[in-house]
């Protein structure tokens, strides 16, 4: 009889928890919606470098309907109730940066599972997602899971090469993606962008087809690279600390023999143990970071997307 009452109490406790959760969820949703509206403006600034076309950023922001974002945001926060809206906005920023990269370049992996989770929630709302894709890229960005995580250090190096030149690298960037150039300094990429002509680079690295705004960004990226690459920045740390612009630091780092030393805050940490996966857009995937908004892998891909 005692066991019967114990089991009955346990069942009652489970139902009570579910009941209280059911009562509190509408209140949480209302709070999440209000907080999203309050801090929505923060998601509009991607903190990009001058390479990224303002028209491209505007196109992305216009394509993402605030009501759609609010719905996706509320569902994401229900899954991550301990994260504030300010912290979730950091996830939005990195997802939007990733989408910019996926529109400009032909192969971009996604290296963070939580950022990819936000993307998956966007996919759940089929009509809204389709409208977003059409407004932003003119075709659907499809997303397919792989059967198992795939270790992709070369793709991670490619991701890093693009990222540190397109966007400011702050503490949130490193928290989400981990430190950059874990496996390789990207010497092959450096040589290609040093020696190939613009049309050759477009053929090899630019996404096709793409928008005019994205093509202009690729051209700006290439021109800025050819201008910056020959220089070694003696004051790279001062530049980085004052502006979060990491490209001068990267070019200096790529010219050294060390993988860490004075660059350890940004580049060249020891590779993490591969343990879980990621995703990719148009041609890419997702990976790791060092906080609650990432998995613990460093360069593996478990799902992918392509446009059609």
How many residues are present in the chain?
A: 308
Domain membership of residue 269 (yes or no) is: yes
Q: Cβ distance 192 to 308 under 8 Å?
A: no
Whether residue 25 is contained in a domain is answered as yes
Give me the domain span that covers residue 280.
2-288
Domain count, the chain: 1
Q: Is residue 171 part of a domain?
A: yes
Evaluate whether residue 293 is within a structural domain.
no
Question: Considering just the CA atoms, what is the radius of gyration of the chain in Å?
Answer: 21
pLDDT number for residue 135:
94
Q: What angle do CA 219, 104, 40 make, to 5 degrees?
A: 115
The pLDDT of residue 182 is 87
* Burial class of residue 50, CB neighbours in 10 A (0-12, 13-18, 19+): exposed
254 and 233 in contact (C-beta within 8 Å)? no
Token code pair at residue 250: 């990267």
- Residue 303 forms part of a structural domain: no
What pLDDT, on a 0 to 100 scale, did the predictor assign at position 20?
Answer: 42
Structure tokens at 135: 């407004």
- Output the tens digit of pLDDT for each of the chain's 308 residues: 656 555 656 565 555 445 445 447 888 899 999 999 999 999 999 999 999 999 999 999 999 999 999 999 999 999 999 999 999 999 999 999 999 999 999 988 889 999 999 999 999 999 999 999 999 988 887 665 555 667 889 999 999 999 999 999 999 999 999 999 988 999 999 999 999 999 999 999 999 888 999 999 999 999 999 888 877 667 888 889 999 999 999 998 988 876 557 888 898 755 443 333 445 554 334 444 444 444 434 566 545 555 54
Residue 124 lies in a domain: yes
Report if residue 304 sits inside a domain.
no
* CA gap 291, 114 in Å, rounded: 10
Given this model, what pLDDT does residue 281 score? 57
Q: Is the peptide bond before 140 cis (omega within 30 degrees of 0)?
A: no
Residue 143 domain flag: yes
pLDDT of residue 35: 96
């Amino acid at each position: 009889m005692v066991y019967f009452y114990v089991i009955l109490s346990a069942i009652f406790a489970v139902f009570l928890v579910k009941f209280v959760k059911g009562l509190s969820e509408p209140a949480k949703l209302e709070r999440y919606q209000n907080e999203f509206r309050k801090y929505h403006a923060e998601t509009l600034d991607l903190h990009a470098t001058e390479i990224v076309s303002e028209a491209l950023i505007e196109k992305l922001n216009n394509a993402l309907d605030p009501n759609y974002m609010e719905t996706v945001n509320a569902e994401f926060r229900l899954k991550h109730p301990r994260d504030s809206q300010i912290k979730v906005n950091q996830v939005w920023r990195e997802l939007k940066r990733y989408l910019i990269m996926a529109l400009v370049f032909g192969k971009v992996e996604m290296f963070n599972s939580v950022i990819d989770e936000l993307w998956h929630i966007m996919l759940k709302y089929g009509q809204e997602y389709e409208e977003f894709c059409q407004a932003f890229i003119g075709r659907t960005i499809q997303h397919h899971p792989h059967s198992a995580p795939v270790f992709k250090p070369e793709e991670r190096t490619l991701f890093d090469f693009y990222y540190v030149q397109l966007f400011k690298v702050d503490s949130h960037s490193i928290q989400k993606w981990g430190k950059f150039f874990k496996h390789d300094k990207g010497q092959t990429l450096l040589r290609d962008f040093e020696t190939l002509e613009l049309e050759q680079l477009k053929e090899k690295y630019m996404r096709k087809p793409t928008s005019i705004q994205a093509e202009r960004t690729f051209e700006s990226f290439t021109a800025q690279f050819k201008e910056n690459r020959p220089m070694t920045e003696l004051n790279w740390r001062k530049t980085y600390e004052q502006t979060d612009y990491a490209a001068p630091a990267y070019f200096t780092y790529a010219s050294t023999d060390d993988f860490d030393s004075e660059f350890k805050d940004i580049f060249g940490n020891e590779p993490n143990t591969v343990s879980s996966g990621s995703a990719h857009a148009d041609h890419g995937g997702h990976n790791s970071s060092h906080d609650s908004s990432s998995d613990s892998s460093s360069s593996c891909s478990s799902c992918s997307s392509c446009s059609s």
